[in-house]
């Protein structure tokens, strides 16, 4: 007997928020913000990764 596959929890939450707000983009932002808030409450953080943009003079000085 095969068990029914359930949707991931963030998808369920996003769909519920989308029904309330009517805006799928707002729903995704709400879910992401809630996850980030939970991480912050646990003392964890996700740092954005950005490409280092350095001027040619900084590269030659090894900065």
Domain ranges in the chain? 7-45
pTM of the entire predicted model: 0.49
| Model confidence pLDDT, tens digit, residues 22-51 | 888 888 888 888 888 998 899 888 777 776
Task: Return mean pLDDT, the chain.
Answer: 76
Provide the phi-psi class of 44: left if phi over 0, else alpha when psi is between -120 and 50, else beta: beta
Per-residue DSSP letter, 40 = H
Q: What is the pLDDT of residue 53?
A: 66
Residue 60 CA to residue 20 CA, distance in Å, equals 54
Q: What is the CB-side half-sphere exposure of residue 20 using CA atoms within 13 A?
A: 9
> Which residue, among 35, 53, 55, has the nearest Cα to 44 in the 3D structure?
35
Kindly report the number of other CB atoms within 10 A of residue 43's CB atom: 6
């Amino acid at each position: 007997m095969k068990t029914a596959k359930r949707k991931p929890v963030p998808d369920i939450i996003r769909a519920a928020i989308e029904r309330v707000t009517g805006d799928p983009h707002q729903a995704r932002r709400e879910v992401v913000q809630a996850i980030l808030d939970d991480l912050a409450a646990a003392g964890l953080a996700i740092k954005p990764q950005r490409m280092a943009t350095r001027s040619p003079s900084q590269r030659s000085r090894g900065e």
